[in-house]
Structure 1
């Protein structure tokens, strides 16, 4: 098995794992028309997929995996035939995979796969980055996957900053939007918004209720809701498209009594300790984000949070696609997913929903986090601050307030906005 990674500056990380023969559950296989058995390929990472449905999102990734598996199989077959004709020996499944691949051909094939899925799109990564990750998987020794970045680099996504959190303030995304449109959307939402400070829940409960409430808003059976979470146990929450073995040192997590759960949104892994984390979810009808792109929808949904934190005297801003930061470093990260309206019953029209959630570090046990999480060198390759720990500057050190005081301030801000609307 070989694995390659590519981090798009200002975007997200994508990884490609290639394995001949049997493969882990969830990986895609492909057979050529001539009957050659292809390698299994898995695409994972902390990127997002914006899609009309789960089926469309999954179909996009499976199609990309099948396309890469076909390339790997054809290359392996051609390479093996060449080896056999000249030496009479078996070339071996890995040695042949991709040895003659042209990166442009790989990228074109991925673009063609993406184009077949108009109802789903990648966010934070693209065909170029996937092609680079695939090429790295087949050209790097396995031990070098997590080492320093090679000469292959992915260009920044259109409109993305060259650097991200904790680097140079001048290249972070501009401050919170104050456009009349964003203000009017919130002015319309506040009077209808239920504000909930939830009871402590287990990690599994949190994942279940987050998706359930989003689907209830999508069906029109729950009002728009802003929920501030309370955690009852430590955990690692991985993104929808991440590979747990590649993101978490599972044996260490078990020894530390830390549960690993998967959320229904994309993005990266989060290290959670109940007293050190502040998490919120916003569940709103889809019309709240209608007519704006995905990047703008992150800024719209977090507009209230940025303003509330600025009320504490913090110089808070947006950074990259989905991070919230101050001049000192990253404060938190967001993830988002859209839920289509279920089939109408009795002529009623359901609104659909967007789920937007953010986890912020109030404090952090840096030593424990680095033992539990596996942060590759590629993941921090576009940052001047290479340590994942140093990139995070918790709210405790920035505010001097207790966690309860910060949460109380956020709730008071929301209730004041709702009462004035």
Structure 2
């Protein structure tokens, strides 16, 4: 039976900046915790401790990333458990969040419908900031000025993970050096076009990053209810073990199913 947002007691996690590999591991650990009933459905706002490229579960590292350029710029490459495309992350330029929910919330929905549902609250938040944004199937959030962000989703053992990375600001030149796919798409148009395709929230709102995040959290709380929480010690320990055994290893980074 399908549930609604209000059938669940939503929790908020917004911790200090963490390493890219730990973020990948936390997504698995918290999805599994919600699936097993050890954690209520949760919204997690990410803070990045260092720059990264996050590739999707089914992407080839060699095809997506110029590893020499990434190493030159001190950018760590990590692989997440969900599908979708590569994301270029610079701390302070990025707003990333994850939703961990029982699959009952998206019961009977197509993937497109579930993406639209899970993004609906953030579209309302952006509207309150004066941005007319909409969901662009399958996994983009866009506006009249350009793309704002991209989503990815996976389902594991009775829980759905839905996470979104939005551009608050953009370093298009560095992104094109590191991401091969972006370079191929835009090589004939240059970095000016890259910046045009993605229109960051800083230029659209004129607000500090923290103010945009605060609006997002306030909107979610008003629409669906949201209690402040934190990472529990056992969840952090589980995630740290996943970093050692999986997300921080070359076999995981290189593996394409």
Residue of structure 2 equivalent to 1:298: 115
Residue of structure 1 equivalent to 2:154: 337
Q: Which residue, 65, 68, 80 being the options, matches 1:251?
A: 68
Matched, 1:241 2:49: no
CA 1:225–1:410 in structure 2 vs 1: closer, same or farther (change >3 Å)? Answer: same
Q: Considering only CA atoms, is the larger Rg found in Structure 1 or Structure 2?
A: 1
Matched, 1:264 2:81: yes
1:100-123 CA distance string (max 9 Å, x none): xxxxxxxxxxxxxxxxxxxxxxxx
| Matched position secondary structure for 1:237 | strand
CA–CA separation in structure 1 for the residues paired with 2:168 and 2:57: 24
Q: Which residue, 15, 23, 26 being the options, matches 1:206?
A: 23
Residue of structure 1 equivalent to 2:126: 309
| Matched position secondary structure for 1:230 | coil
The TM-score, its normalising length taken from structure 2, stands at 0.81
Q: Do the aligned residues in 2 keep the contact of 1:298 with 1:322 (CA within 8 Å)? A: yes
Residue of structure 2 equivalent to 1:414: 220
* CA positional deviation for 1:379: 5.5
The structure showing larger relative contact order (alpha-carbon pairs under 8 Å, at least 6 residues apart) is 2
CA–CA separation in structure 2 for the residues paired with 1:419 and 1:242: 36
Q: Do the aligned residues in 2 keep the contact of 1:375 with 1:388 (CA within 8 Å)? A: no
- For 1:9-88, what aligned pairs fall within 5 Å after superposition? none
| Matched position secondary structure for 2:26 | helix
CA–CA separation in structure 1 for the residues paired with 2:174 and 2:41: 37
CA 1:246–1:399 in structure 2 vs 1: closer, same or farther (change >3 Å)? Answer: same
Q: Do the aligned residues in 1 keep the contact of 2:10 with 2:225 (CA within 8 Å)? A: no
* CA positional deviation for 1:284: 0.2
Structure 1 outlier segments of 4+, above 4 Å: 376-380
**Which consecutive unaligned segments of at least 5 residues does structure 1 have?**
1-181, 341-351, 381-385
CA–CA separation in structure 2 for the residues paired with 1:244 and 1:388: 21
1:316-347 CA distance string (max 9 Å, x none): 1011311000101100000000012xxxxxxx
* CA positional deviation for 1:186: 2.4
CA–CA separation in structure 1 for the residues paired with 2:193 and 2:39: 41
Residue of structure 2 equivalent to 1:188: 7
**Which has the larger share of helix?**
2
CA 1:376–1:302 in structure 2 vs 1: closer, same or farther (change >3 Å)? Answer: closer
Aligned residues: 221
Q: Do the aligned residues in 1 keep the contact of 2:133 with 2:144 (CA within 8 Å)? A: yes
Residue of structure 1 equivalent to 2:143: 326
* CA positional deviation for 1:413: 1.7
**Which consecutive unaligned segments of at least 5 residues does structure 2 have?**
187-191, 227-257
CA–CA separation in structure 1 for the residues paired with 2:71 and 2:182: 21
CA–CA separation in structure 2 for the residues paired with 1:402 and 1:377: 29
| Matched position secondary structure for 1:375 | helix
Q: Do the aligned residues in 2 keep the contact of 1:198 with 1:229 (CA within 8 Å)? A: yes
* CA positional deviation for 1:418: 4.1
| Matched position secondary structure for 1:274 | coil
1:281-339 CA distance string (max 9 Å, x none): 00000100001111100001111111111111110101131100010110000000001
Q: Do the aligned residues in 2 keep the contact of 1:195 with 1:415 (CA within 8 Å)? A: no
CA–CA separation in structure 2 for the residues paired with 1:372 and 1:379: 13
Matched, 1:400 2:217: no
CA–CA separation in structure 2 for the residues paired with 1:261 and 1:396: 26
Matched, 1:357 2:174: no
Name which of structure 1's ranges 306-315 and 368-377 shifts more when overlaid on structure 2.
368-377
- For 1:343-382, what aligned pairs fall within 5 Å after superposition? 352-375=158-181
